[in-house]
Structures are given as structure tokens and as C-alpha cells.
Chain A
Amino acid sequence: MVPKNLLKKLVKICGRENVLYSPTDLYLYEYDASMERGKPDVVVFVTSAQDIQNVVRLAVAENIPYTPRGSATNLAGGSVTPKGGIVIETARMNRILEIDEENGVAVVEPGLYNLQLQNELASRGFVFAPDPASQKVSTLGGNVGMNAGGPHCLKYGVTVNHVLGLEMVLPDGEIARFGGYTQETPGYDIVGFMNGSEGTLGIFTKLFLKMMPAPGGVETLLADFDGIEQAAGAVSAIIAAGIVPATLEYMDQTCIKTVVASLNVDYPTSAAAVLIIEVDGPQWSLAPQVTAIEKILKKLGARVRSARDNTERDALWAGRRGALGAMTRLKPSVVVFDGTVPRNKLPLVLVQIDDIAREYGLFYGTLLHAGDGNIHPIILYDERDEEETQRVHEGCDRIMQLCVNEGGTITGEHGVGIEKIPAMKYLFGEDELEVMKQLKDVFDPQGLCNPGKVLPA
């Protein structure tokens, strides 16, 4: 419980209806989309940088932890409050402040949904490249905080490559701005450092994002394979041939069968795996790319189909977009595992994941942002069954170790949050973790800003 006088001060800053503390409300702010839970003491809705600054200053003065929250769609516990304290909800800070077409910069507030920005840009002939699968609901503040990826990051890079500047409230309560309208900022790359900091180094109040002209055209291919190794092998073969598709997505047979059963999509259910490959660019550049890719695919024994128009293109994508949804209908609970491995290790890793799944009795299907080696086995279970839940935890841990052993990492885009803290030790040694801890201390000596995340205690 928060002391009465603190509540009073929060009400003064944010307004009475913007401060929640009833047991029912707090129960509703103890989760995100992960398996983690942690009850906050109070939730405040902020509408301006000044609100955030005032709340942070108060928290610092009273020595109370605070955690930023957007749509709470985090898959690793990033917006859960294991240490209680104040939840600072930024969902109402969702304005597009400026679209500067000449300099290619969009200035937005952190609570804006990714897709809302995309829609606005599309009407002007631009795109914001990062397109996480959750773009309809995830906020841009969260995207930057998690350094989100998405199908298109294979060609265009992840979020960090598209953030030009940030305005934020630092853990000492000061408002600072790093970068802005220019492509390059002298001095240390604080903007880059803040990408993927998971809200542990301050709270964003303004984002300066890079807009790119929309590509002239796209071509979409669907390739199906008899073996997962051939499918996975095709991924590195394409890139080794010097072609960088805009997206290179992989679905295994379990996912294919599930989407075909529940959606009206035309994927070959006998295939061991399919790849959805999209190339984009000026019209003249498309045909040569497609021919080269088709040649590689056919050599590996794939059957290839291409979309003739937008309707067919949507139909090819419908299965990929609906895959996670269709899978979650099979069982009550789901873990979307997130890890990466070097592309050329994909065939080996996929076979080993299958072994681990068998050993732990896991029911799963696999989706990959295959181009950048980002693997998403979707593991289905029933969290009411404690024994099964335990097996899922252990199996995931094994898969994580596998990724690291093969030269990959423990998260591609979902972040470390709470869930993957133990796995940080697989990836980093004492010295490396110590450097990170010291950096965190420089920004947040009291350790109040989103505590209990990212770094092992």
C-alpha cells in the first residue's frame, strides 16, 4: 500500500480520475502478455512529459520504484512490477506531433500504436520500417524500449536503425533530449544505447523516427518443402547469393495444418515447411530478384508459387499473419519463445528443438523470421496443469541454452524482461554483466526505474 499523503500528491499531479489504487484495479495491472505477475501499489495515467517528470521526482524523493507501461503486450514481463511501486501508464500520450517529409522525420509521443503511425505515413507514401507482429497494438515507446523487430527487419534493420532521437525523463527527474532531426549526433550514441533498454534507464516522452519512402513494388512467393532442413537451408542459400529479400518467413507443418484447419488459406498441408519470401524495391529490380530466388528454391526441391496481384498476396500472407492466432486456439496457454541463431545454423537448431520438445513432451509449432535467424517456437499448454507448466519452463530454458551454444542469443525481439534474466548468464560473463550494472547505476543510482528487469540481481 502507498501512504495516503503520496496518493494525495499523485492526485495533485495527474488528477483524481487518473490515479488508480482499488484492489480490483491493482489486480488488473499486475500482468502483461507474459506468464509473469507482480502487483503495483498505484497506477497513474500521464498525459505530458511534465506529468512524468513530476511523478518521477516524487518517486525519487519518496524512494518508491516506478515502471513505465504502454499497451502491456510484453512477452517477457517487461511491464510487470515485481517490486511493486508506481505504474506510469503512457497510453494516453498518443499524438503524432510532427511529420517532416522533407527531412524524413516523424515526431511522435510514446503511447502511439505502431500501426497508427504506419497508416498515417502510408497515406503520404512513406513507411516506418519496423513492423513487429503486434504493430496493431504495441506502442512505439515499447517498440523502442524493446528494440523490436518484425518481418521487414531482415532488409531494413531493427528499430534502433530507425530512431533518430529521443526525449526522455531520466531517473533523476530531468528531461533530456538526445539526437533529433539529423542522421548523426556527435558524442556517445545514447540514442542507440536507449534502444532496447526496456524502460530501465528512463521514460521516453518523445520519439524522433526515421521515415522511408515506400518501396516502388513488391513480389511475394510461397515455397513449400518436403523437409525442414531444405527449407531452413534455403534461407542462407538465398542470402549467400547476395539477395536480401524484404521478408523471409518460415512456418512448419504444425502451423501450416493449424492455419489451414481454421482459416481459409491454401497452403499445402503435406509440406514439412513453407517459406514466404517477399522482395521489394523499384519495379525494374523485382523480376531479376525473383528469378534468382526461384532458381535457388527449385534446386533445393521446393515447389514455388507467386502472387499475381494484391488479393493473392494478401491470401499468401493471411496464413502467416493468422498462424499464432490459430495455434492459440488449440490450448489455453501459450509461450511464444524468442531466440536467435546464426542463419546457417537454422537446419541444425530446428532438428535439435524437435528433440528437446520430444524429451519434455511439449506441443509446439515453429514460426521463424528466418532471414535473421529469429526463431519463435510456439509452445502450447494449460497453465492450470502445474506439472506441464514446469516442463514448458524447463524446455524453454534448454532451447535458450541451445541458441547460445550455437552462437545465437536469448532474445530476438521480445526483450529480457523478467523471464529471461536467468538466461543472461548463458550469454554474458561476470565482467560483461558488471559493465552493464555500472552503466545502469550511472543513470539510476537508487535503482528505482523499472527494477527487477534485464540484469541479474
Chain B
Amino acid sequence: MPQAGLWEEYKVLSDQTLEAVVQCSKCGFCQPTCPTYAVSGLEHEVARGRHQLVRGLVEGRLELDKNLKTALFQCLMCNACYTNCFPKIKTDEIIAEVRNLWIREKGQPALQRYIFHTLLRHPELLGRLLKMASFGKRSGISGLAQVLRCLGWYGKNIANAEGLLESIPKSFLRERLAAQSLIPEKRRGKVAYFVGCGINYAQPDVGYATAQVMNKRGFEVEVIDNYCCGLPAYAYGDLDSVRWFVEKNIRIFSNLQADYIVTDCASCTSFLKEYKRFVPEDSEQQKIVKDFTGRLRDMTTWLYETEDLAEYKTGGNTQTVTLHDPCHLSHYLQEKVAPREVLKNIPAVVYKELAESDFCCGGAGSYNIAHYDVSMKILKRKMAHVKNTGAQVLATACPACIIQISYGVRKFNAPVRIKHVSELVLENSE
């Protein structure tokens, strides 16, 4: 029972969060679907427990201490619980706000501050540093970290995560796309392409395929000069930075002339859809948000909607393909049809369903670095299912999943290649 008066007085968290937390009826239905619970069985690792912890905090029964921190920071924010929750509680919103409270009361770690306040706000600086890393002697995360002068900050996590990133590309997507024409011969329309950080810096090949496919389907591609969508800052509770990114991007979106706004990072798509939460109601910005989210599509959805323009090769060898649903696509955007239908439509694809396909891979942005051990337990489960399909290719639609599952392939010896849906579509297009 809540202690009298506390709900009224404890105003550190927003009314929405408080309302969301009381909505949790403790039914426990989130248990089988929560990845952190599935690998631990612990009540503080499941949505029900997390909501009760926040409630305990609000009711003054618990302190904002280390125990609470572990429970709340170990959440993947995958929102599998939301999909399966009767009252539809958005766990990510509660967690983000409590992490924000943590920062406000305990301070923000220096590395996070550096990333969200300096690097991501100055893409040219980030780009320069990453370039240096890519040419440096040491490859992968530790080379990157060395250049970022932050090795000490991540301590032993960085050693654990060694190998997560195989290499840093020598040229980024933006440079590659800037060097060529993106106007198709037969022009049907125009897509404004939102380039996510993961695609730009880590997987330019994916973005390249995305742009090519758009051209092939008759769409001119305008590469948006956007900032980070803000999701990484959101995940660490840095809501001030989120507002900064939101504001910058909205200004850029305000004069986009295009039929569609598309991104091939499911996490970006879903977070762009959340922009309305970060601008005042009835404001000019809100109008811009409404306009651009109306035209916004995840790449998989866009491919599905423009399927009648696809021209696929026929008669070649077939390959078995399975699909991993990125959390931001399946649990945030509730989109499970589009990627499947797109894959099934490719003549050379023999589609095979993956068990627990919408179960998080444990990548979750940089979760795999910050919580390596938990992340690996979750990945192990994913890779076992992947192996069971016997598929030659695993398709997905988010760079964080691609990095994580590719690591899983190396770590758990799974004979499967990882591709973005865009890449598969391109390979099979005439």
C-alpha cells in the first residue's frame, strides 16, 4: 500500500511515469518474454520487478542506491515486455526517466558526457577520430577507445568487448554517397534518407545497398544532413542531450521536400517516431514532427510498400534465409509483417522462421559493452536458435543487431552470414 501523501509529494518523476508504474498489476505475464529474466530468473531482472522497484522508490521504501542501479541499468529497453503487457506499460519510458534521475542525483559518468555532449554533437570531430582509429595499428574497439582517449574510463568492459567490432571502415557512408549521383534514370519520386550513426560509421555497405535499392525502384535519394537521432543518449537517461538532438533534427526536417523519409536503422525509425514526446504540444515544432513522421518509414516497411516496383532475378541458386526481428521494429513499431513479406517475395529466398525471432540479441546499442556477461548469455540463446534453422543467411534491419549477431557468429561458430534486408534485396535485384 502506498504511504499516505507520498505520491503527491514525490515529484522527482513525471506524472506519466508514476501513472505507468501504478498501472502494473504485477500479473507477471512479462516473465517469459523478458530476455534478462529468461537468462537470470531474478525478479529484479523483469519488467514487473523493475516497475515495483520504481514504485518502492516513489513510495519512499527504497533508496536510489547500488542495488536499484543494477536492476534499472541492466534493462535492455527492448520493450518485449510492452508487447506482452496487458495494460501496455512502456517500460523504456520509465527506465529512461529513472536513469535520468540517477544522472541528476549522482552525476553523469565522464565518458557518457563526452560522447553525448561532445562527440555526437560534433560529427566532424567524431569522424576524424574514427578515421584515425581505422588507420591505427590496433583495430576494433580497443583501437577506437585508445584514440578516443577513454580506455581508462571503460575499464574492464573494454577488454571484454574486444572483438565486438572487427574493424572500422576506411570510408564512411556519407563520403561514399556524396561521390556519386543518386538520381535514377526513370524517376518516380524522391526519398530523403536519414543516415543513422551505426550505418554511417560502422556499416556503410548496408547504407550503400539501401540507396541503390531506392534508385532501382525509381526514387531519387537525398541524403539528409542529420545529427544522431538521440536514442543512445535516451538509453542512458541523458534527456537534455535528447532534446538537443531532437531540436537540431527538427530544424533540418522542416524543409525536406520528399515523398518519403526513410532510414535503414530500425532503432532510428522508432526513435524518430517518439520525437513528439520531446517538443511542447501545439508548438510549431510539433507540426513539423507530425508532418515528417507521416512520411517516415523504416526501410523494411518502405520496401514492403513499394514491392510492386521490385524486379528480382529469377532462376538462380536459392538460399535459406531466416530473420531476426530488431526490438525497435517488432516491439516499438510493432512491425513484423513487412520484413518477412519482403524476404518471402524474393524468388531466390527460401524463408525459414527463427524461434524466438523477436527476442533481443543482447546488442541493445552499447549494452553489449556495458553489460558484457548478461549480453553474452542472451546472445548464446539467440545463436542456438539461429543454428537450429540451418539457414545460410540471417537477415535483420538494425546495425546494432548486425554487430552483435556477427560477433555471435564468430564466438559461437555459427555457419551463417548476417545481412541487412536491404543488402539481400539489392543482391537479388535485376
Contact = CB atoms under 8 A, between A and B. Distances in A.
A136 B29 contact: yes
B237 to A, nearest CB: 19
A25 B2 CA distance: 19
A22 B43 CA distance: 13
B31 interface: yes
Contacts of A24: 44, 53, 56, 62, 65, 67-68, 71
A27 interface: yes
A308 B408 CA distance: 44
Given A28-B52, A384-B7, A33 B27 contact: yes
Interface stretch (B18-26, B117-125, B257-265): B18-26
Contact of A134 (B29, B41, B67): B29
Nearest to B6: A384
B67 A31 contact: no
B345 to A, nearest CB: 21
A45 interface: yes
B41 A325 contact: no
B128 to A, nearest CB: 44
B62 A27 contact: yes
Contacts of A27: 52-53, 56, 61-62
Size class of the A contact interface (CB-based, 8 Å): 35 or more
Interface string A314-347: 0000000000111011001110000000000000
A71 B31 contact: yes
Contact of A384 (B22, B28, B31): B22
Nearest to B52: A28
Contacts of A113: 32
Interface string A28-39: 110111000000
A396 to B, nearest CB: 16
Contacts of A419: none
Contacts of B27: 33, 73, 328
Contacts of B86: 324-326, 328-329
B86 to A, nearest CB: 3
Contacts of A334: 25
Contact of A25 (B22, B26, B28, B67): B67
Contact of A137 (B22, B32, B62): B32
26 contacts: A22-B67, A24-B68, A25-B44, A25-B67, A28-B44, A28-B49, A28-B53, A29-B43, A31-B26, A31-B52, A71-B31, A73-B27, A91-B41, A134-B29, A136-B29, A137-B28, A137-B29, A324-B86, A325-B86, A328-B23, A328-B86, A328-B87, A329-B87, A333-B22, A382-B22, A383-B1
Given A25-B43, A27-B56, A33-B27, 10 more contacts: A22-B67, A24-B67, A29-B43, A32-B28, A73-B28, A73-B29, A89-B41, A113-B32, A325-B87, A328-B86
Interface of B: 1-2, 7, 19, 22-23, 25-29, 31-32, 41-44, 49, 52-53, 56, 61-62, 65, 67-68, 71, 86-88
